[in-house]
């Protein structure tokens, strides 16, 4: 699956989660990445590489999480990135 399509699926899944949206989070897709923000503050970025979703948190130069699974990327975003 192409990077853009893979990231698009994650963006759609995140926007479908009421809690994600109601807590002020957004996921804005570009050609190469999916930028996650909360109330205008950068939280990090999802990219797709070699069939995997790769998360790099704001302020870090190296990824801190990766998975080949869309459900796992969604779960990680909802439980680790957008909690609170």
**Residues 40, 5: Cα–Cα separation, whole Å:** 25
Task: Please determine, for residue 76, whether its predicted confidence score (pLDDT) is greater than 90.
Answer: yes
Task: Please determine, for residue 77, whether its predicted confidence score (pLDDT) is greater than 90.
Answer: yes
How distant, in Å, are the alpha carbons of 3, 27, 36, 49 from that of 32?
7, 13, 13, 10
What's this model's pTM, rounded to 2 decimal places?
Answer: 0.92
**Residues 18, 24: Cα–Cα separation, whole Å:** 10
pLDDT digits (tens, 9 = 90+) for 29-70: 998 999 999 999 999 999 999 899 999 999 999 999 999 999
């Amino acid at each position: 699956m192409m990077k853009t399509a893979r990231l698009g699926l994650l963006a759609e899944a995140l926007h479908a989660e009421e809690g994600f949206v109601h807590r002020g989070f957004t996921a804005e897709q570009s050609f190469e990445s999916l930028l996650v923000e909360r109330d205008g503050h950068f939280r990090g970025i999802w990219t797709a590489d070699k069939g995997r979703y790769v998360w790099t948190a704001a302020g870090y130069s190296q990824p801190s999480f990766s998975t080949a699974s869309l459900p796992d990327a969604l779960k990680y975003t909802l439980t680790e990135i957008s909690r609170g």
